[in-house]
Amino acid sequence: MISNKEMHNTCHMSDKCIKYNECPMVLVQKLLSGKRKIMILWYLSGKILRFNDIKRRLPDVTQKMLTQQLRSLEDDHLIFRNVYPV
């Protein structure tokens, strides 16, 4: 197994670490790790969806889990939430 330091020394983006104070690849991994975050971003990349529209596309995800993942993506500024009238 390769240590983080060894990985950092061989990373072609190691010069960017000074700017971000962290390896950009590790940062991306942290931002996208989580159940279904990549799928959620994929669905939202095509159009604006309401919560239930996303929920229908991910039937195996509980409402609680979807809410947590959406809040996490929002906290990381990867998505923005607008509340629309019903």
In terms of domains, do 27 and 39 share one? Answer: no
The residue type found at 68 is Q
Per-residue pLDDT of the chain (86 residues; tens, 9 = 90+): 655 555 556 666 666 565 556 677 778 888 888 889 999 999 999 899 999 999 999 999 999 999 999 999 999 899 999 887 87
In terms of domains, do 24 and 47 share one? Answer: no
In terms of domains, do 26 and 60 share one? Answer: no
| Number of structural domains in the chain | 2
In terms of domains, do 57 and 26 share one? Answer: no
Give the DSSP H/E element, type plus range, for residue 63.
helix 63-75
In terms of domains, do 69 and 45 share one? Answer: yes
In terms of domains, do 67 and 38 share one? Answer: yes
Q: Give the domain range for residue 14.
A: 1-33
In terms of domains, do 38 and 26 share one? Answer: no
Helices 37-46 and 24-32: angle between axes, nearest 10 degrees: 80
